[in-house]
Structure 1
Amino acid sequence: MVIPGGSYRRGPPPYLTIGLIAANTAVYVYTSYQNYLLESSAWSIYSLGFTPYLLFSSPVQGLIRVFTAMFTHADILHIFFNMYFLYLFGYSVENYLGRLRYLLVYFASGVVASLFHTAFSSVSNWGLLMTPAVGASGAISGVLGAYLILFPNTKMSMCTILVILPVCFPVASYVFMILWFALQVIYGYFTATTIATFAHVGGFLTGILGTWLIARRLTKQYQQTTGMSLADILGSLGIILRGRRGLGRVAKGVLVALILAVVAGYLYGALGSVLAGPQTYVLSVSADGVGDKVLMVLQGGAVYVTTSQVDEVRVLINRLRDTFFYDPGSANNTRVVQESYATQVSGVSVPVELNAEVTYGYSGVLENATGVMLSRVVNVNPYTGVGRLGPSIQISFNISAAEVNWAVGVLALDVLAIAVSSATVMAVLRSDEASAIGEELDLLPFA
């Protein structure tokens, strides 16, 4: 738990921040009322979430989803903590930057966060392209980045549970921000989390860069108009200034090192796309009359097929072998498949009987398939994660594949992520030009 100090929490009520919280809350009520407000429906996640492949297959729809996803949340904890952080940090940032500039930073951070997330598919796994992402986290990460630039030395309280007792201790805001940013980078690279951590990274860096550009320019305008520095202006108003201005050398060094680690990741992804770009296919799957689209990636002889939000399609895909989708020995041929085998699903050995007819293209990639699968459901305990076999099922299916060239689009976004990250290094090194000074600020000159 984080509780910022109140030194800068002055000025008019943050009406824009309150409006954003109200809008997010209203959307959450709409998407979750059928589930007693505990979680959003699967339909709302699928229809309002940002699914990255849409940027390439239907750019207008993809851009619309970038914005709808900013107001859609998965469950009650997701929206609670997002709105908590938005209010705590947005209050000061809105009053300092002014509403229009604050709104610009907020939405720019949200958009770039989605682009960073899409580009990260070349670094992590290409399945990200077909997985819906929801939440205002990217935009709110931009607000955190803005807060870091403007108020790096504000006192905050960080609270944790030690044994059974809550323990709180004071820290400067830059300590919390840098620690939080480091965790996003580490989790993104080294864990298999379902959280879009590099969307947070992209939003945070955009907030830093955008706020530096805006606040730095405002400071120059005040200097040109009055002939005095910002410190002189505040001093003439009787404001007591304490503490150093901006980030210290160590803080800047750590931030720059983390940003360079981000750059290195996207360079790796870009080089991988150029030197050994994957073959990508969209599979249109119909299972027992319901359909969905999943992504199949073929790289270095390995096959990866994404999962689905549709139960019947997910069950089918989880039980098909890689050789069903890619069989070089059957190139330009139609193969009749009659197999009985066992496969692992959620750690459980599941029996499968497959009767199908599959047509393969020139490279051995599935073009069309039709057939029937007999198997059993796997029931997973939501608390322990332990699975067990359930009842038998039969699924009639049809599958068709279409090759797409999304690697080029992802490569372009890799380059964009590298450019934004590199520019943010300069913003961090020169962040003092935009930072507020001291701990007592009764009047916000930029509001």
Structure 2
Amino acid sequence: MFPLRDHNPSGRTPYVTYLLIAANVLVFVSYLTLFADEAALMAFFDQWAMIPAHIVSGEDYHTLVTSMFLHGGFLHLAGNMLFLWIFGDNLEDEMGPLRYLAFYLACGVAAALVQLVSAPYSTVPVVGASGAIAGVMGAYLLLYPKARVDILIIFIVFFKVFPVPAWIMLGLWFALQLLNGVGADATMGGVAYWAHSGGFIVGLLLALPTFRRLGGRAFWNQTHGQPPHPAATYKLSHTRVPAVRRRK
């Protein structure tokens, strides 16, 4: 299940969201050549990735921030940037650029700390913007629970795009993070499920001031959980290939 886009256009250009995407891409490109040398890559991650055991021992606090701009591969980067591009612009629109940037960084640091608590003596490097983006998703769920999101369902050879309310897509995503976090060994390499879950909850909580400023429950009652503006509509473009009639 992959989100492709939402039907919730922002009212202004989301410069901070674009800047965050550009920063993540540029940082990834800067160490891309290290993937050909595993020892060099691990040495780089040892310096800039968040390693819980190092934080517990009082070292490398800077990695709580730097780790959220690192990624373990192209697909890791592409997936995170897709989620940020879909959900980030609306949060920036409501919060304003500077508050949104502070919100994003706070969610990323909080997500890293939650992952640290789940496995404080792990020496596995933790990288990725997933925790910060999970915070964006949690805030999006609070503000626009019924905004439509187009998701791509892939089941073996079956491909289909479905528009679903945001609460279904984001709720299922959060539930999967919790279930996998409970079932996974936090000290093993792989996905930082507790960072995702923690970032999501922190993002929802940090968005409460914005939610109250918009009117709180009155905002929900007024918009019925939808965006407070007309939803975007998408149409398939016409093909230039001429239609061929069938002979009877």
TM-score normalised over the length of structure 1: 0.47
Equivalent residue for 1:212?
A: 208
Q: Structure 1 residues 440, 25: CA separation in 2 closer, same or farther (over 3 Å shift)?
A: same
User: 2:142 and 2:17 mapped to 1: Cα distance?
Assistant: 19
Tell me the alpha carbon deviations over residues 39-58 of structure 1, each in whole angstroms, 9 at most, x when there is no partner: x9222222110011232322
Say which of 172, 177, 181 aligns to 2:170: 177
1:144 aligns with 2:145: no
- Offset at residue 92 of structure 1 (A): 1.2
Distance of 1:172 and 1:79 partners within structure 2: 25
Alignment of 1:45-194 (within 5 A): 45-59=45-59, 61-62=60-61, 64-121=62-119, 127-128=121-122, 130-192=123-185, 194=190
Residues 51-97 of structure 1: per-residue CA shift (max 9 Å, x gap): 112323225x22x0111101111111111111111111101111122
Q: For residue 27 of structure 1, what is the aligned residue in structure 2?
A: 27
Which SS does the other structure have where 1:41 is aligned? helix
Q: Which residue of 2 aligns with 1:4?
A: 5
**1:283-362 alignment to 2 at 5 Å?**
none
Provide the residue aligned with 1:309 in structure 2. none
Aligned partner letter, 1:55: I
Q: How far does residue 439 in structure 1 lie from its aligned partner after superposition?
A: 6.0
Distance 1:94 1:72, change over 3 A: same
Q: Which residue of 1 aligns with 2:230?
A: 440
In the TM superposition, what is the alpha-carbon distance from 1:440 to its structure 2 partner?
2.1
Structure showing the higher strand proportion among its residues: 1
Task: For residue 95 of structure 1, give the secondary structure of its aligned residue in structure 2.
Answer: helix
Partner of 2:42: 42
Contact 2:111-2:199 at 8 Å conserved across structures = yes
Bigger proportion of residues as helix: 2
- Per-residue deviation at 1:207? 0.5
Q: CA deviation at 1:218?
A: 5.2
Which residue pairs with 1:334 in the alignment?
none
Matched, 1:203 2:199: yes
Which has the bigger relative contact order, CA under 8 A and spacing at least 6? 2
Tell me the SS of whatever aligns to 1:13.
coil
Q: In 2, Cα distance between the equivalents of 1:34 and 1:55? A: 24
Q: In 2, are the aligned partners of 1:45 and 1:74 still within 8 Å (CA)? A: no
Indicate if the aligned counterparts of 1:184 and 1:198 stay in contact, CA closer than 8 A.
yes
Deviations 1:6-58 (A, max 9, x none): 2x21322110001011111111011113447xxx9222222110011232322
Aligned length: 224
136-145 vs 211-220, which deviates more? 211-220
Q: CA deviation at 1:441?
A: 6.7
In structure 2, C-alpha distance between the alignment counterparts of 1:65 and 1:438, rounded to whole Å: 38
Change (3 A) 1:174 1:44: same
Partner of 2:241: none
Give the fraction of aligned pairs with identical amino acids, expressed as a percent.
33
Give the Cα–Cα distance (whole angstroms) in 2 for the partners of residues 142 and 231 of structure 1.
20
In structure 1, C-alpha distance between the alignment counterparts of 2:100 and 2:67, rounded to whole Å: 19
TM-superposed CA distance for 1:230, in Å, is 5.7
Alpha-carbon separation, structure 2, partners of 1:145 and 1:159: 21
Do the aligned partners of 2:94 and 2:210 also contact (CA within 8 Å) in 1? no
Cα distance in 1, alignment partners of residues 143 and 208 from structure 2: 8
Gap change, CA 1:153 and 1:57, over 3 Å in 2: same
The residue aligned with 1:332 is none
Deviation at 1:217, TM superposition (A): 3.6
CA contact (8 A) 1:153 1:439 kept: no
Structure 2 counterpart SS, 1:74: coil
Kept after mapping to 1: 8 A contact 2:56/2:121: no
Pair 1:438–1:218, CA change in 2 (3 A): closer
Does the CA-based 8 Å contact 2:142-2:211 persist in structure 1?
no
Query: Over aligned residue pairs, what C-alpha RMSD do you find?
Result: 2.5
Tell me the amino acid that sits aligned with residue 133 of structure 1: V
1:353 is aligned to none
The 3-state SS of whatever aligns with 1:209 is helix
Amino acid at match of 1:145: G
Q: Secondary structure of the residue that 1:168 maps to in structure 2?
A: strand
Distance of 1:156 and 1:136 partners within structure 2? 21
Q: Distance in 1 between matches of 2:161 and 2:177?
A: 23
**2:53–2:121 contact (8 Å) kept in structure 1:** no
Decide whether the 8 Å contact of 2:6 with 2:86 is kept in 1. Answer: no
For 1:161, give the aligned amino acid.
I
